[in-house]
Structure 1
Amino acid sequence: MARILSIDFGKKRTGIAITDELQIIASGLTTVETKVLLPFLKDYFAKENVERVVIGEPKRLNNEPSEVVPILNEFIKKFRIEFPEMPVERMDERFTSKMAFQTMIDSGLKKKQRQNKALVDEIAATIILQDYLNKL
């Protein structure tokens, strides 16, 4: 089997998580600057066998798209041009950042460590991916 990769897309930073090859566990991979996301993915896909990408769908509480959606849609267009064979699925990502922050608290991370927004993005991507796996 191949891995599944998830993306918690942001204007500045993007959190990335990946499954194991058996697609049982989601683990945080890294956080990259959004402007270098496509080159990062190209390099990663060349090294690892990834069968699909799950991208967090940013929505407001009233189910309206958030302000980042137009930028995300533009990224997805570029992604599909760069990787036409790679399936892309979207998952509701509401509350994942709050859940990620709570996970950091529950893990006993100190206040200074919890201020690391890159870590929050990586954990949010992990939550998106684990939610996806739970629905399979």
Structure 2
Amino acid sequence: MARLTAELAQKILVAAAEKATEIGSPSSISILDSGREPVAFLRQDGALLASPEISSNKAYTSASMKMPTGDLNELVQPGGPFFGLQTAQARPFVTFAGGVPILVDGEVVGAIGVAGGTGEQDEEVAKAGAAVA
């Protein structure tokens, strides 16, 4: 059974932070395991004050749904299969880009959430981190 180790989480965190620096988007980066518990976190200098909570919520949502948060937006609209999902949990579900699952041997072992830039930037940073797995 694949799992997200602390060592792997740190490698993912470093790769994501390097991408955030490269594209000039100071970010908060949260990595949660498949049980949605924190494994690693970084708030880069200059990241928005709200970004730690948002990044964690993105990772939580992605780990819960086993899909990128950006893919959820269409699904939670009126008439969509997950309409109302973002308000159905005690912890907010985030339905905009920046949270992506982390896969090891094809199995979702957690998720990374990034906040601090545009949705496109956050997604790019998250994907750079997740690619290390």
Q: Same fold (TM over 0.5)?
A: no
* The structure with more strand, counted as a fraction of residues: 1
TM-score by length of 2: 0.28
Q: Rg: which structure is higher?
A: 1
